[in-house]
Structure 1
């Protein structure tokens, strides 16, 4: 297969509605921007293998967030140049009829990743590199420095760069400019020591992909990706708060942006209608020792990673961010396979019918209710989603979600939201994105290998019974265009 061809009959784990090219490695979304009538989503991409190396910027664009055109590689490393080790993460802005991309320039002989830029005059298809670095050296006392995020604030431009500080804090450092070329360091926008999160993870000692959303009510949120200097990528986090005199005054408690194990590097796009949209990297959960490590299974499959569905972000009443799938995605719903309501118990599970491997479900579970997605004929392979009868948490358990012993297991929890819990579940072959009524989210990967049709079963745990209501729609694979491929 060449990258200029539409994807062939791919393996059953390949997603239908989540963005990713036909083959090879992808990770962070980059350069999210609306320009010249299109949404542009760039992303970290290795055009030569399914391994985490040789970073380029791949490129999708869309007029409606539904139909996406895959365009050629937008940015590639320059041999012997400042970015010879890879064109790493950043963002892009639209101004004066052109696009300017900001990115981290990697070389193996530097511990940090300086910021540089490139300009496109043809709608974001090709870029001309600046030819020199914008920010050559990080501030004193910095031990990690990468991933610029630029936005317009009145008459000036502002930039955050993710960092780790020598005093043990993760940080978002701030720069300003009048012309996108000359940047002045303005100090720390937000810095915090590692803070524990509700599931045993923490905000870590370093922050990648620091981004800022300012809402119309005067509040805001700093998003970041928690980086452990020993183990690498951990989780996506955020601090709610508000900006005062050029610094972000964060709430005392940070939050997980996504409560699952496989979501990282969220990136923001301020849409023309005022919405804050967000995409993230959903990594694999195969046989790699840690994120980004070589994987025999990934090498065999020939592809790794995907982008999340676009999410709308709004401020919630208690400071937490509210996340919903972008409203446009409702148009992907096709045939309704299930509409059911009733009561189930541990002794009397109720099978509701078959669903496709790309399905949009709405589910209401009373305390103790359990939804089981059966993916093998004999019922030995399944994903469980349980409303815990004691804690009220929503538990997502993938320990039996794949009969392939190389697939990772584990269970994850969402906080309680009341006597019954309402969720929307977007299932796409090997990924599940779950959204609660309160706007929390949980993303995980699973790799079913059973040969049967997928079926939805309702039951209960804890010895009682539980009410349920379920709707399920097929997700129609949107038409994808391949505008010249993405090979370099």
Structure 2
């Protein structure tokens, strides 16, 4: 039986758990999104890297699992988040290898075939664990600064101030720690992105300015809490080849309750001006074990979003390729499970899902573009993004109550 909650035009397999997008790239003219994946059950654990590819950012093909935990190896309990890089023609993953738990994580690499379907995981770490025993370090991201390759990683933990560490990554088999790229002592970072660990740091140039995107992990005394995603725009200064980031301003990447751990991709093959694309993880909201077991899946990767700076602020919209795939439809309502939709409005209003399992309404605060796919709802209003989840049932009907509405099938 079809599942009205299951997204059909976004990255996720038919079953299992997924979280962070990893290794996003454009290789040989095709888009690839790898992702944190537990194929065995809809819960976090035994993390592999799943893989999907697409020619158009809309129709995604599930590929074979790319890398997986190896008994007795440095990634025995998980191949956690990381990135893709082109190492002089060799496809390479830089990832977080976990042998027993987050505090023992090390940096590792895997090299791939030219079709990105076969991967060889290294047997020795590229970077050892760092810091005091309570500290955690994870989520490598490759960035080029003035012709030199670096890796940034998130660092911190209970009683350990959040930092972004930077490494010389000239040799991907041996990352050399250079020190902190950014620390919580930066007043702008402290104001906009206070956290115990800065997870999934992404450092890219957007419209010619350096932007650092951070996912906030905060300790609540019992366990960690995922506390949203922030952007910082600033400057990079190099001293003897060591980069340091100083923030000028900051803000919220997505204002919704179900968005975390994005990965950014500078699209160097863009036909016109350079651009940056972003994918994020949208988790399930208020779903209990019974729901997870009945549906057999959890998590979805968001629409590819194009990022720009407007008046010094980071803004986002669905990638133009997504919107170009639309098929016009006249009706302002549709039955749940009947494919994905993109809704545009010229003014404020409401998106309503009747007979939903939980909340039924999303408020639209102005002229908006809305992507609805299964239970995933992404709202874009004047450059601001809002990602949430609404869970339709077999009896549900979606409808839009606003001015100037256009509904199109995706």
- State whether TM-score is above 0.5: yes
Contact kept? 2:305, 2:317, Cα under 8 Å: yes
Deviation at 1:83, TM superposition (A): 0.5
Alignment map for 1:182-197 (pairs within 5 Å)? 182-192=174-184, 195=190
Deviation at 1:287, TM superposition (A): 3.0
Given the two structures, how large is their TM-score scaled by the length of structure 2?
A: 0.89
For residues 91 and 443 of structure 1, the distance between their equivalents in structure 2, rounded to whole angstroms, comes to 23
Stretches of structure 1 that go unaligned for 5 or more consecutive residues are 1-8, 289-294, 339-352, 387-393, 395-420, 459-467, 476-488
Distance 1:334 1:209, change over 3 A: same
Q: Using a 3 Å threshold, how does the CA distance of structure 1 residues 36 and 321 change in structure 2: closer, same or farther?
A: same
Match of 2:244 in 1: 247
**What is the count of residue pairs matched by the alignment?**
392
Q: 2:67 corresponds to which residue?
A: 75
Q: Which residue of 2 aligns with 1:400?
A: none
In the other structure, the counterpart of 1:385 is 363
For 1:452 and 1:139, locate their aligned partners in 2 and report how far apart those are by CA, in whole Å. 51
State the SS of the aligned residue for 2:116: coil
- Structure number with larger C-alpha Rg: 1
**Counterpart in 1 of 2:195?**
204
CA distance in 2, matches of 1:374, 1:84: 43
For 1:226, the equivalent position in structure 2 comes to: 216
- Are residues 1:424 and 2:406 paired? no
Q: 1:92 aligns with which of 84, 89, 92?
A: 84
Q: Which residue of 2 aligns with 1:444?
A: 388
Q: What is the TM-score when the length of structure 1 is the normalising length? A: 0.75
Aligned to 1:469: 404
CA distance in 2, matches of 1:374, 1:281: 22
CA shift, 1:354, in A, is 2.0
1:322 aligns with 315
Deviation at 1:384, TM superposition (A): 3.9
State the shift of 1:96 in Å: 2.8
Distance 2:6 2:120 in 1: 34
Write out aligned runs for 1:105-144 (5 A): 105-108=97-100, 111-139=103-131, 143-144=135-136
For 1:213 and 1:207, the matched residues in 2 are separated by 16
Output one character per residue of 1:309-360: Cα deviation in whole Å (capped at 9) or x when no partner: 000111221x21110101100133113225xxxxxxxxxxxxxx42354221
Structure 1: 4+ residue segments shifted above 3 A: 139-142, 152-155, 165-168, 193-197
Q: Secondary structure at the match of 1:267?
A: strand
Segment drifting more, 13-22 vs 144-153: 144-153
Structure 1 position 236 matched with structure 2 position 229: yes
Give the conservation status (yes or no) of the 8 Å contact 1:195–1:254.
no
Unaligned runs of 5+ in 2: none
Helix, strand or coil for the counterpart of 1:51? coil
Measured after TM superposition, the shift of residue 220 of structure 1 is: 1.4
Please give the alpha-carbon distance, in whole angstroms, between the structure 2 residues aligned to 1:100 and 1:424. Answer: 36
Instruction: Give the superposition deviation at 1:454.
Output: 2.6
Query: Equivalences for 1:27-426 in 2 at 5 Å?
Result: 27-108=19-100, 111-139=103-131, 143-164=135-156, 168-192=160-184, 195=190, 203-217=194-208, 219-229=209-219, 230-245=223-238, 246-251=243-248, 253-271=249-267, 272-273=269-270, 274-288=274-288, 295-317=289-311, 319-338=312-331, 353-355=332-334, 357=336, 358-365=340-347, 369-376=348-355, 382-386=360-364, 394=365, 421-426=366-371
RCO comparison, higher one (Cα < 8 Å, 6+): 1
Q: Do the aligned partners of 2:343 and 2:405 also contact (CA within 8 Å) in 1?
A: yes
